[in-house]
Amino acid sequence: MKKSNTQWREQLSPEQFRVLREHGTERPFTGEYNNEWRPGAYYCAGCNAHLFDSETKFDAGCGWPSFYAQAAGNNVAYREDISHGMRRTEIYCAHCEGHLGHVFPDGPKPTGQRYCLNSVALVFKAQE
C-alpha cells in the first residue's frame, strides 16, 4: 500500500501520522486503549489490517497496550531498531508499513512476547 505523505496526512490525525509514518511514540499511560478490556479486535489505523485480539491483551504495567501474540495471519512484520541508543525489534503493519511499536521477550506464557503498541496506531472494534 503506497501513499504519499500528503495522502497519509489527509487520512490520519497529526498524532497518528507522527507515530505511524514517522516512527513516533505516544507518552505512556495516555493512550486510548491502554485500559481497554472489552472483547474485540485491534486493527491498523492506517489500513485496517487485523493485528491483535483482546484475548491476548494483558496489563504489562508499561503504559501502552500490550499483547502476548498477534492475530492469525501475517499482518505484523518485524525489523531491527537501533534508535535512541537501544537495540529493539520494531513491529509494523505488513500492509501499509505503519509503525506500531516494539516487541520484547519479557511477556507472559505461552509466547513469552510483549507486543507493546501505540494506541493511536490502532482502531479497536468491540465484539458485538
Catalytic residue ranges: 116
Query: By the 8 A CB rule, do 56 and 69 touch?
Result: yes
Q: What are phi and psi of 93, to 5 degrees?
A: -70, 125
Q: What are phi and psi of 19, to 5 degrees?
A: -80, -55
Measured between alpha carbons, how far is 78 from 88 in angstroms, rounded to an integer?
10
